[in-house]
A = this chain, B = another copy of it.
Amino acid sequence: MPRAGLSRAAVVELATQLVDELPGGPEALTLAAVAQRAGVATPSLYKHIGSLDALRAEVALVGAIDIRDRLRAATVGVAGVDALRALAEALRSYAREHPGLYLALQRAAGPQDPELVRVGGEVVDVIAAVLRGFGLPPERAVDAVRTTRAALHGFVLLENGGGFGLPDDVDRSFAALVDVLATGITALREE
């Protein structure tokens, strides 16, 4: 019989699809499901990946790269509050399109995978670059980046997790969050 013609990249691609389709997100990802979709027996996957955990790490890396690229693309040529808003909306869009992939990023954050650490750092760099437009003193920059990361990350997690029970307009709340960040971070300058 002919071969399936898999590769490391193909397996990771299938896994990233699954992670977004499965209701349980990254935790529900199984090698059995990947193998079924690939049309091979489960152990065959080990020719391309090291383990389920390694596959999860690769999936997380794909997500990190995607996010980095989207944030960069969304913020070229914009500055100040506009850039912050563009960045925020790009992140939220991505998380809504890829809820499983976004979740996969969470737990994989450990210092195991240097690639992931590097790309994560590049994501943070984009945020830092955007916030530079707010004219903060250098010693406050880290605080502003962390605050922004926390607020955006928390919002999309709550939204994707169904944490907002009320029917009130979530878009408006997100806009409010960005306003709060913009106002509050600007005020950090004055202290």
Contact = CB atoms under 8 A, between A and B. Distances in A.
Interface stretch (A38-46, A75-83, A152-160): A152-160
B180 A188 contact: yes
Interface residues of A, number: 47
User: How many copies of this chain does one complex carry?
Assistant: 2
Contacts of A176: 140, 143-144, 146-147, 188
A69 interface: no
Contact of A180 (B117, B124, B166, B181): B181
A57 to B, nearest CB: 14
Contacts of A146: 155, 158, 164, 170, 173, 176-177
A162 B152 CA distance: 17
A154 B162 contact: no
